[in-house]
Amino acid sequence: MRGRGRALARLGAHPHVLTAVMVGHSGGESGIGWIVTDRALGGSIEQRIGAPAEQVVRWAAQLAEALAHVHANGVVHGDVTPSNVLLDIDDVVLVGDFGSAVLLGDAPGSGRVTGHTPAYSTPERRRSAPPTPADDVFGLASTMFAVCGDLDGLTGGARRLLRRCLGEPGSRPDSSTLARRLAR
């Protein structure tokens, strides 16, 4: 939990990241860690399966912007899924659940096992590789595919870009490039 608390502390405020208001740990070394965040009154995008393609592209751009901020601050979310992409009352994306987050410097040799959701994880993560920003980009595309049900409903440029995110690690755009290109 301490690593996750440090990860959240690095992020500061961002319009598309759910703000942690309190981080704690109870019961000594074997105790339970906890994080209290602001509320996301719009639920998750998991509850919006079948959303119109135009909305899905807006959410993808906002999620990419959030991940660019997360990655620029040396953090990997580690579990980008429809249930972890929350919405405020105006349908603006708020990334939540940093329970699998790692600091980039800690990821390769931390020895700490982090959770992930296999259906939204890269093949590398499913083979127990440490989380990387490329995994978050893959999770973003997998999440958007799940929400819209079919990338074919998206415009050509957005569809091609999100399909690239599902490719091999070296072919995936980084989150800041993805954010810029989806915001067009």
Nearest CA-CA partner of 101 in 184, 50, 48, 35: 35
CA–CA separation, 116 and 152 (whole Å): 27
51: Cβ–Cβ under 8 A, 6 or more apart, which residues?
Answer: 45, 59, 147, 148
Backbone dihedral angles phi then psi of residue 171, each to the nearest 5 degrees? -95, -10
79 is catalytic: yes
* List 79, 97, 135, 136, catalytic entry: 79
Cβ neighbours of residue 174 closer than 8 Å, sequence gap 6 or more? 68, 71, 133, 134, 137
Residues classed as catalytic:
79
